[in-house]
Structure 1
Amino acid sequence: MFKILCNQIPRVLTVLTIPIITNKYSFSDISNDNNNITSKPGLNNMTVLGGTANQELTKQVCDILGVKPGEMDVTRFSDGEIHVQINESIRGKDCFIIQTCAAPVNDNLLELLLTITAARRSGAASVTAVIPYYGYKHNRRGLPISSTYHSRFLWSAASDFAKMLRILGVDKVISVDLQKSGQGHESCFFDNTIPVENISSIDSFVDYINNQLLIDPTNNKKKQITNKLVIVSPNTEYIKKAKKLELLLKQSHSNRHIDTAVILDNTHTNRLEGNAEIVGDVKDADVIIVDDFIDTATSLAILCRLLKKEGARRVFICASHGLFTQTSMELIDLSPVEKVIVTDSVPLPKGSSNKIVQISIAPLIAKILESEAITSNAIWDSERISDDNVKEIDEDDEEFELE
């Protein structure tokens, strides 16, 4: 009996050391839904690969472009490792990888990096990383100030992420609301060898506000918002974004009173104690708070109550990215906010509040990708024609020498 057990030990150890596949995501099913789609002219040499973080956004972009999502498998093993396999030929093609870096941030970030290397090793002519939500963009931290030199060493995880993308061979980066208006922090993390294109979502918010919240008073339909509207910046960093939204809305509604306000001393302690100062008049006005992202929703819930206390009639929130972690949905339901409008750069979690409204950025991304693919094809065609001309000249020279 002891001898039999000893013979079985190596086999048992071998089984235990093999990681178990826990999740396998295949994109062939998504591709099969679009078998009858005819791609637009000039897009035959492009491939769109979608990560697992936001598959619905990838599908919407491909539907607009008229292309099928590239077939690939993403496997997650029980030990946490990730394996990416591309199941179609992308040799010589322009590859666009759509992957948002929301929670779980590290898993989605590593999946993006592995997809980039898989595309490079598969012979892609170019690789463009489309990152709707750029991970670690708000992680700006500095080491403690030195008491001796009164200085500190600064670092940013976002710049480290940018360096990873550059080293792995990304040719271009496309993101949505990568930086605050008037600031260029994140784009400066990349060197001049990688173009960084930032898609602004403010026009999409303006369209939604005009069509859903603001209704012409001369129309017989019931107005969603009164004649007085105030755009509120939650801190001094978003004043320019609030002013831009104000100007765009005034272009369509010159007969309305539209103004801006800003909240000063907006620290966590001041918000809790109700000491945050509001510069601007929000009394009897409908208010729209503009922000970059919503995480736990704690700050925005407090701000909504503060604005209501100052006499605001109703409060709306427009944020570029809806992360919605922890108990954010419960806080939104309990807060006096009417609606929270976000883009679909990050998929909504299950059990989302009825107050959440998502607007699609797929048309914006599709427009950029179409332009990139057509431009790349034009360059490739011009190079091919030039090579053909050179070949014809060489052949003519050979014939001349023979004569």
Structure 2
Amino acid sequence: MRQLNIDFKETIPVAPLAIIPLQSSWKLGNNVNDYIVSWRKERHSDHHTNILFEEYKKDSYIIDAKCSRFGSGEAKGTINESIRGKDLYLIVDVTNYDITYKLCGHVNRMSPDDHYSDLKRIIAAASGKARRINVIMPFLYESRQHKRSSRESLDCALALQELKNMGVDNIITFDAHDPRVQNAIPMSGFESIQPTYQFIKALFRSVDDLIIDNEHMMMISPDEGAMTRVVYYANVLGIDMGMFYKRRDYSRVVDGRNPIVAHEFLGSSVEGKDVVIVDDMISSGESMLDTARELKRRKAKRVFVISTFGLFTNGLEIFDKAYEEGTISKILTTNCIYQPAELLEKPYYVNVDMSKYVALLIDSLNHDHSISDLLDPSDKIHKLLVDYNNKHNR
């Protein structure tokens, strides 16, 4: 496992590293741990005699911890190893619906509320003992309820404030639905990270006949909320972009939202071009597929979908049908959240592995190393683009 090009020789850790992946993120946490173990075994530091390097090279940084449940559904968090003085990283996937527990003899699937409560239980168990507490929550809890438009609760802001008050120093999330939620905790560490480089690399690896210029390719925003993401992709790749906006019926509310009447397109012609739709999440997928159909109706060549979180709340059947009809060619989502085995077997699905990136973030933060280069990978993307074009003689 080759270490990425970051120099840790002249820095020392904040404190000995400890990682607690909650049950919801156990697979991701194990992969992250394996990367860090491998890197540190090969690494030599100028300060290796410092006492902070006493536990620097270990076979595992994962701490034994669990959340046990009583028959009533109540629970408690337990940490079975010492975390005193440790730089503690908690990893949690609040969307993982595959975990169940017994409630008065009935089987319950864990909801985002359950996962968030378990996170707080482990934080409470570590309170006052760890040197620093950091939370890695790829899908930010309640991030879809990020603003108030009527007499509504502001759940995401409340959750961030609660974590801060419990002693959490840093919160790291990926592609927050609206990164302005960090205004709820302006004096705390908060990073919403865009996995742009990982997506472009995965797209280039899975499709070998792309021609990346204005005549053959275009980035698409499915709505006004995704504009910032798409503008960045278009700029670093040097191609045009277009945008759909959703015309809604504000006289009705269906399933908690105003139904979409039509998708209107703003931008140049997509005829004969490969198009890439970029968004933060695929929920039911209906809106995303409506966008793809509109693009095909406008004679787009192929449609690729990039989304940080693939929730697929209504199942995969509609995506299977869209693939069979030629509406979509590839769907790319990350492994930051739970992926059912069925999804991984789909011919149109590309899994974007974020384990190495999360490991690098943890390793850098543990050294108090700047992560600004990780947050803006434009130089790496340009190099990736040059290498792709040279490889395919374009």
TM-score by length of 2: 0.72
1:116 aligns with 2:123: yes
* CA 129–160 in structure 1, closer or farther in 2 if over 3 Å, else same: same
2:200 aligned residue: 206
Shift of 1:54: 1.7
Letter in 2 for 1:342: T
1:83 is aligned to 76
Q: Is 1:264–1:279's contact at 8 Å kept on the other side of the alignment?
A: no
SS in 2 for 1:230: strand
Match of 1:197 in 2: 191
Select the residue among 35, 49, 64 that pairs with 1:64: 35
Does the 8 Å CA contact 1:234/1:266 hold for their aligned counterparts?
no
Aligned residue runs from structure 1 range 160-239, under 5 A: 160-180=158-178, 184-192=179-187, 194-215=188-209, 228-239=216-227
CA contact (8 A) 1:272 1:302 kept: no
Measured at CA, do residues 159 and 271 of structure 1 come closer, stay the same or move farther in structure 2, by a change above 3 Å? closer
Q: Report the count of equivalent residues.
A: 310
C-alpha separation in 1, matches of 2:214 and 2:137: 37
Question: CA shift at 1:179, angstroms?
Answer: 4.8
- Local SS of the residue matching 1:53: helix
Question: What residue number does 2:270 align with?
Answer: 282
Q: CA deviation at 1:216?
A: 7.0
Question: Would the aligned equivalents of 2:246 and 2:261 in 1 still touch at CA under 8 Å?
Answer: no
**Match among 297, 311, 321 for residue 309 of structure 2:** 321
Q: Contact 1:296–1:326 at 8 Å: present in 2 too? A: yes
Aligned partner (choices 219, 224, 231) of residue 243 of structure 1: 231
Deviations 1:329-352 (A, max 9, x none): 111111121111011111212422
Q: CA deviation at 1:326?
A: 2.6
Aligned to 2:113: 106
The code of the aligned residue for 1:186 comes to V
| Equivalent residue, structure 2, for 1:348 | 339
Matched letter for residue 235 of structure 2: L
- TM-aligned CA deviation for residue 267 of structure 1: 3.6
Q: Is the contact made by 2:135 and 2:170 (CA closer than 8 Å) also made in structure 1?
A: yes
The change in CA–CA distance for 1:216 and 1:342 in structure 2 (over 3 A counts) is closer
Tell me the residue number matched to 1:309.
Answer: 297
Residue 132 (structure 1) aligned to one of 138, 144, 154: 138
**Shift of residue 231, structure 1, vs aligned partner:** 0.6
| Distance in structure 2 (CA, Å) of the matches to 1:320 and 1:244 | 15
Root-mean-square deviation (CA), in Å? 2.7
Going from structure 1 to structure 2, the CA distance change for 1:132 and 1:167 (only over 3 Å counts) comes to: same
Q: Distance in 2 between matches of 1:303 and 1:371?
A: 39
Please identify the structure whose Cα radius of gyration is greater: 1
CA distance in 2, matches of 1:273, 1:311: 22
Q: What is the CA distance between 1:155 and its match in structure 2?
A: 4.4
Q: Aligned pair in 2 of structure 1 residues 373, 265: CA closer, same or farther (>3 Å)?
A: closer
- 1:231/1:214 Cα in 2 relative to 1: closer, same or farther (>3 Å)? farther
- Shift of residue 51 of structure 1? 0.7
Seen in structure 2, the aligned counterparts of structure 1 residues 226 and 245 have a Cα distance that, compared at 3 Å, is closer
Q: Secondary structure at the match of 2:338?
A: coil
- Deviation of 1:363 (Å): 1.9
- Give the 3-state SS of the residue equivalent to 1:142 in structure 2: coil
Structure 1 unaligned blocks of 5 or more:
1-39, 145-152, 218-222, 251-257, 377-403
Pairwise CA distance, 1:154: 6.2
1:263 lines up with 2:244 in the alignment = yes
Structure 2 stretches lacking a partner, 5+ long = 1-7, 38-59, 97-110, 251-257, 370-394
Q: TM-score, normalised by structure 1?
A: 0.70
**Local SS of the residue matching 1:337:** coil
Cα distance in 2 for residues equivalent to 1:271 and 1:317: 22
What is the CA distance between 1:289 and its match in structure 2?
Answer: 0.2
Q: Please list the CA deviations of residues 278-326 of structure 1 after superposition, one character each: whole Å capped at 9, or x if unmatched.
A: 4331111111100010111111121111111111111110011112213
2:66 matched residue in structure 1: 73
Question: In the TM superposition, what whole-angstrom CA distance separates every residue of 1:112-163 from its partner, at most 9, and x where no partner exists?
Answer: 1111111115x1111111111111111135364xxxxxxxx56421001112
State the AA in 2 paired with 1:200: Q
Q: CA deviation at 1:354?
A: 3.5
* Matching residue within 317, 324, 330 for 1:330: 317
Does the 8 A contact of 1:235 with 1:266 survive in 2?
A: no
* Native 8 Å contact 1:199 1:364 kept in 2: no
1:148-193 Cα offsets, whole Å, 9 max, x none, are: xxxxx5642100111210121111111112255xxx412112131x
C-alpha spacing 1:271/1:210, structure 2 compared with 1 (3 Å): farther
